Structure 1
Amino acid sequence: MNAAAPVKRLIMIVDDDQILAEFLSEVLRNAGYDTVRAHAADEALKLVSEREPDMALLDIHMPGMSGMDLAKQLNRHTTVPFMFLSGRGDSDVAKQAAAYGAVGFLVKPVDEKQLMPAFEAGLARADEIRELRRTETNLNAALAAGRETSLAVGLLMCKFQTDRNTAFEVLRDHARSSRRKVNEVADQLLAAEETLNGLHAAFNARLKK
């Protein structure tokens, strides 16, 4: 039996310039992505409600709702990352894009050789942000569920001089590899630390005699 083909990542292109939208769509499809096009912001929002794309390319200047206003809607109601398409490439546009939460921006006219490196860098950044959000959600849920997990995370942070997310990920991964719950591993870790502290005190007492 043949293995199922991997699901392609979906990219939404929102631009009222049909020639540019078709060009971007063709380049992305040739690079292995699925694409969907919208010529206006309201059409884009309808498409997003049916299936959230992995990335949206938004033209800043469109009739009706602008790309900036569409970005606000995506930020408010979805988790869709986006890049802006702009006719200007100066620092003001870059700052404006960053302020709206864009993971990058492409300058028109878009050159095929420049498109994919910029696009894939933006997609990689979007994936990093998505993973951080997922990890933070898991971390907050775990810490809320048990005091032991919180204490164990703090212990690992202190022992290995690391941050909260990394400490939790190591604790979680160890629990998964041993097919146990996170709080069970946390209990074991805290018990081991208590035992070591007791032995440390006993050794110190013996040395003082």
Structure 2
Amino acid sequence: MSSPASSRRLILLVDDDPVMLEFLSTVVRHAGHDTIEAASAPEALQRIAEREADIALALLDISMPGMSGLDLARRLRDHTGVAFMFLSAVDDSETARTAATHGAVGFLVKPIDATHLLPALESALARADEIRQLRRTEVNLNAALAAGRETSLAVGLLMARFQTDRNTAFEVLRDHARSSRRKINEVAEQMVAAEELLNSLHGAFAARLRSK
């Protein structure tokens, strides 16, 4: 079975150079993906407004007249769920650091050939999928924690008991609830009740020992 990153995806290409735009589209489509193109940042925002849910990744030229690729990236990062990678004619560490601080999942230096573009594209798609999954987990986690005190307490108990992070603790709790065909808050309530019982018994044992 193919991985999400290797299946057919929709890629948004943004570059003010029509020759580069045509080259990118040809290579990406030849690799088995679909593309939509934009010759400017405002046009890209329009494409995203129309098809944001379908876009797996955006390839952004950093240097464009008017709104630059960096400005566009900030808009994508702050107001959309579209992951992006940069294309730059400048090959220096400062540009690469700037790309990273903007949240890019990839960075390519022009001139670009297919042998460099395709591996970078697939790597960026894989990273974009990871980020989307983390965002979904966080949304699910926040919803579950807001649903009840017991779920929040149970996640905290798992984190302390198994020295794990919050997302992992929630995922384990959720998976156990699914496997036992129960609601997550029901499992959480049982966990909290068991912990409270153990704490109560611990107190009773301590009192018994002190009285001897």
Shorter chain as normaliser: what TM range? 0.7 to 0.9
Post-superposition CA distance 1:32-82 (Å, at most 9, x none)? 211111111111111111101111001111122211111122223211111
Which position in structure 1 is the counterpart of 2:4?
A: none
Which position in structure 1 is the counterpart of 2:173?
A: 171
Match of 2:102 among 83, 100, 103: 100
Report which stretch shifted further, 171-180 or 147-156: 171-180
Post-superposition CA distance 1:140-168 (Å, at most 9, x none)? 22112211011101111111111111001
The structure-2 alpha-carbon separation of the partners of 1:76 and 1:199, relative to structure 1 and needing over 3 Å to count, comes to: closer
Q: 2 CA distance for matches of 1:8 and 1:111?
A: 21
Q: CA deviation at 1:192?
A: 2.6
What is the 5 A alignment of 1:135-174? Answer: 135-174=137-176
1:19 and 2:19 matched:
yes
Q: CA deviation at 1:178?
A: 2.1
Work out which structure has the larger RCO, using CA pairs closer than 8 Å and 6 or more positions apart in sequence: 2
Q: 1 CA distance for matches of 2:181 and 2:22?
A: 49
Which residues of structure 1 form unaligned runs of 5+? 1-6
Q: CA deviation at 1:195?
A: 3.9
Report which stretch shifted further, 49-58 or 21-30: 21-30
Report which stretch shifted further, 185-194 or 55-64: 185-194
Name the Cα RMSD after superposition.
2.1
State the TM-score, normalized to the length of structure 2.
0.86
Which residues of structure 2 form unaligned runs of 5+? 1-6
Q: 1 CA distance for matches of 2:34 and 2:65?
A: 26
For 1:124, the aligned partner's letter is A
Which position in structure 1 is the counterpart of 2:93?
A: 91
Which position in structure 2 is the counterpart of 1:3?
A: none
Q: CA deviation at 1:84?
A: 0.8
- How many residue pairs align between the two structures? 203
Q: 2 CA distance for matches of 1:113 and 1:202?
A: 70
For 2:159, the aligned partner's letter is M
Which position in structure 2 is the counterpart of 1:69?
A: 71
Post-superposition CA distance 1:99-126 (Å, at most 9, x none)? 2221121110112111122122222222
1:31 and 2:31 matched:
yes
Helix, strand or coil: the match of 1:51? Answer: helix
Q: 2 CA distance for matches of 1:102 and 1:82?
A: 5
Match of 1:78 among 77, 80, 89: 80
For 1:165, the aligned partner's letter is N
Alignment identity in percent?
68
Which position in structure 1 is the counterpart of 2:121?
A: 119
Helix, strand or coil: the match of 1:63? Answer: coil
Report which stretch shifted further, 160-169 or 27-36: 27-36
